Amino acid sequence: MRKPLVAALFALVIAGAGAAPAVAAPAPEAPASAPSSASVSVSVSAKIADSSAQAAAPTLQAVTFAGTVSLSNCSGSVIRFPNSASTDPALVLSNGHCLETGFPEPGEVIVDQASSRTFGLLNSAGTRVATLRASKVAYSTMTDTDVTIYQLTSTYAQIQSSYGISPLTVADTHPVAGTAITVASGYWKRYYSCNIDGFVYRLKEGDWTWKDSVRYTSACQTIGGTSGSPVIDNATGKVVAVNNTGNEDGETCTENNPCEVDASGNVTVREGINYAQEIYQIPACFTTGNKLNLSASGCTLPKP
């Protein structure tokens, strides 16, 4: 998975001193302000997408930073489901490995855990316009997928009225190969544009395994801090996945070096290629009032 920023930058410093890069358990959260441009380079294979190429993308105007958020060490977005109401408590989507209490263990599912975590709400230009606060972790896991969903103390209507910003809508259908997408990182305030290259039967990284993951084409060279970014369909503006990892060094199935495993058990390593986790299955698990119901019809998320 994309390391939280403190761990990633520490690994870079150690590597520069001649030692092997450190791959860490969750590190203390970094300050909320974004680091200087001098700390952008996280690994040899992780290069920020050329901003001129981003500007040239013909459908990029469908995507802005409005509704994205910055976490202390990751990215995220304020999301709604197709049936969410304006009076519902707002939700923030990020990765399971961005959870402030540490990486969930394989097989672990966290629901309704108290949280007062804060998020920097961005407008369309990427300017922080507000600080939002969680009331709880509604759902978090790194099993089968890599997601954390926070419930906020504000409703969608309150956010809209105070800041003029609407949530991003989560698509409730499976993403399609070839779709032009943009990964919008609230942490770095950067876009990464490419296409969905295909889907991975099983993506294995360290002790964790994810099902039916999204593989990007090579143009999306996401880096540490982009974890949890919404993956947005350029044509519809809907969120079709959540950015989470990439193979940095060409290693096989180790942390920060996920491998692809097909239905027959064959393993493929794609150095420099990055991935996201699907979220189309999540809306079925949230019912009236944005309440989590893992027993709801059609809900296939892992249960505690």
250 located within any domain: yes
**Nearest alpha carbon to residue 179 among 242, 228, 231, 226:** 231
> How many structural domains compose the chain?
2
274 located within any domain: yes
* Residue 151 β-bridge partners: 91, 136
51 shares its domain with 188? yes
180 shares its domain with 160? no
Distances (CA, A) of 266 to 132, 203, 224, 253: 44, 12, 28, 12
* pLDDT exceeds cutoff 80 at 31: no
139 located within any domain: yes
Looking up residue 250, the CATH number of its domain turns out to be: 2.40.10.10
Angle at 62 between CA 57 and CA 66, to 5 degrees: 120
Percent of the chain with pLDDT over 70: 80
102 located within any domain: yes
59 shares its domain with 86? no
pLDDT at residue number 17: 35
**Nearest alpha carbon to residue 42 among 280, 165, 220, 223:** 223
76 shares its domain with 160? yes
Domain interval for residue 204: 46-63+173-278
288 shares its domain with 221? no
- Higher pLDDT: 154 or 43? It is 154
37 located within any domain: no
59 shares its domain with 197? yes
- Higher pLDDT: 29 or 109? It is 109
pLDDT at residue number 122: 98
φ, ψ of residue 116 to 5 degrees: the values are -125, 25
75 shares its domain with 162? yes
227 shares its domain with 244? yes
84 shares its domain with 155? yes
* pLDDT exceeds cutoff 70 at 10: no
Tens digits of per-residue pLDDT, 114-162?
999 999 999 999 999 999 999 999 999 999 999 999 999 999 999 999 9
274 shares its domain with 229? yes
Tens digits of per-residue pLDDT, 52-66?
334 344 444 469 999
pLDDT at residue number 1: 76
Tokens of 184: 């919008």
Tens digits of per-residue pLDDT, 248-280?
999 999 999 999 999 999 999 999 999 999 999
35 located within any domain: no
Contact 283, 170 (CB under 8 A): yes
166 shares its domain with 189? no
